[in-house]
């Protein structure tokens, strides 16, 4: 009807060398404010990339741009070999917003069954849908609550339902906006193990945002953000080595101070 379907035919096979996400000169304006400034980065295939930075630095806007729900995006942004927001990408990307987006007046199973029917419609797929739903509920460790209303769950449980929805269609790219906020340490560890399993076994690419620096150590690669700009794009080890620090947190602070110092220097030169 009113959605813009892509006129192109088959999606081109994305090669392993091609990054899952490639951005060049990426900028986003929200109202009068420029939230993202001329970003240039890549997210490699089949790995977990952490998007770290203080709250308000533009992490969510960047993720929404990649998923294709952000308006006023300029520059180049390619996702799985297609321009971001392309209709063909909608079934290939799983997206979890920061606030759990599930129906509070449905049970966990009913929530998942509905979203599964949108991703994989038709009577012929009923059995596959059932399996996918059961597996996704097990993935987030909610099997014992499957028939509870989402509105009656705790905050952490609701965000896991939201995560389970994103795991439904075996997406090639998972974009997770602060998926571990407010969860206890055991659950956080379990979820990170799950993320690694998804990357290793299913070959999926994960982009996970967090403002908790200790989670950075669990990522293959890191994008450090501050004030709408990317401070660093590297592996955790390389970051620690190049800044001569012991933790990613210290590396981040070092980079922020450095950026502030060069900023001041630029201003005095002017």
To another protein, the closest distance from the beta carbon of 31 in angstroms equals 7
Q: Which is nearer to another protein, 97 or 180 (CB)?
A: 97
Q: Which of residues 62-91 bind another protein (CB under 8 A)?
A: 67-72, 85, 87, 90-91
Q: Give per-residue burial for 121-156: e unless 16+ CB within 10 Å, then b.
A: eeeeeeeebeebbeebbebbebeebbeeebeebeee
Binding mask 186-225 for another protein (x = CB under 8 A): ----------------------------------------
Is residue 93 a contact point for another protein (CB under 8 A)? Answer: yes
Q: Which residues are CB-contacts of 212 (< 8 A; sequence separation ≥ 6)?
A: 180
3 sits near another protein (criterion: CB under 8 A): yes
Nearer to another protein, 42 or 114 (CB): 114
CA distances from 217 to 48, 98, 182, 212, 235 (A): 11, 21, 19, 10, 9
Q: Determine if 253 is a binding residue for another protein (CB under 8 A).
A: no
With CB under 8 A as the contact rule, the residue among 27, 46, 114, 134 that binds another protein is 114
Q: Which residue from 165, 211, 179, 226 is spatially nearest to 39, judged by alpha carbons? A: 226
The single residue among 11, 44, 75, 119 that binds another protein, judged by CB under 8 A, is 119
2 counts as binding another protein under rule CB under 8 A: yes
| Contact status, residue 230 vs residue 36, Cβ threshold 8 Å | no
DSSP 149: B
Q: Which stretch binds another protein (CB under 8 A): 104-112, 207-215, 225-233, 258-266?
A: 104-112
Q: Please report whether residue 245 would count as binding another protein according to CB under 8 A.
A: no
CA distances from 228 to 20, 104, 152 (A): 21, 33, 37
CA 229 to CA 208: how far, in whole Å?
17
Instruction: Point out which span in 51-59, 108-116, 182-190, 262-270 binds another protein (CB under 8 A).
Output: 108-116
Smallest separation (angstroms) from another protein to the CB of 79: 12
The number of residues that bind another protein (CB under 8 A) is: 37
Tokens standing for residue 199: 């990357």
| CA–CA gap between residue 113 and residue 117 (Å, rounded) | 6
Nearest to 89 by CA among 100, 71, 77, 97: 77
The Cα–Cα gap between 76 and 56 comes to 23
Binding mask 16-35 for another protein (x = CB under 8 A): --------------xx----
Taking CB under 8 A as the rule, does residue 264 contact another protein? no
- What are the residues binding another protein (CB under 8 A)? 1-3, 30-31, 67-72, 85, 87, 90-91, 93, 95, 97, 99-106, 110, 114-115, 117-119, 121-123, 149, 165
């Amino acid at each position: 009807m009113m959605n813009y379907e892509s006129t192109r035919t088959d999606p081109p096979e994305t090669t392993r060398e091609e990054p899952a996400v490639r951005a060049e000169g990426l900028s986003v304006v929200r109202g009068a404010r420029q939230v993202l400034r001329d970003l240039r980065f890549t997210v490699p295939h089949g790995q977990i990339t952490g998007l770290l930075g203080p709250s308000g630095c533009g992490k969510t806007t960047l993720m929404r741009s990649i998923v294709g729900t952000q308006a006023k995006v300029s520059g180049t942004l390619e996702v799985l070999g297609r321009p971001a927001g392309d209709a063909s990408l909608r079934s290939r990307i799983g997206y979890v917003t920061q606030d759990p987006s599930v129906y509070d007046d449905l049970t966990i199973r009913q929530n998942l069954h509905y979203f599964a029917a949108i991703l994989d419609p038709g009577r012929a797929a009923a059995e596959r849908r059932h399996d996918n739903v059961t597996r996704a509920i097990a993935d987030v460790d909610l099997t014992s609550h499957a028939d509870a209303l989402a509105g009656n769950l705790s905050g952490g449980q609701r965000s896991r339902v939201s995560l389970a929805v994103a795991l439904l269609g075996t997406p090639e790219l998972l974009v997770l906006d602060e998926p571990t906020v407010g969860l206890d340490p055991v659950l956080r560890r379990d979820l990170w193990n799950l993320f690694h399993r998804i990357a290793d076994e299913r070959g999926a690419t994960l982009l996970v945002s967090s403002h908790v620096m200790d989670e950075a150590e669990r990522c293959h690669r890191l994008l450090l953000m501050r004030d709408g700009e990317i401070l660093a794009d590297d592996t955790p080890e390389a970051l620690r080595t190049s800044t001569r620090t012991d933790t990613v947190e210290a590396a981040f602070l070092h980079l922020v101070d450095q950026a502030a110092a060069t900023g001041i220097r630029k201003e005095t030169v002017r």
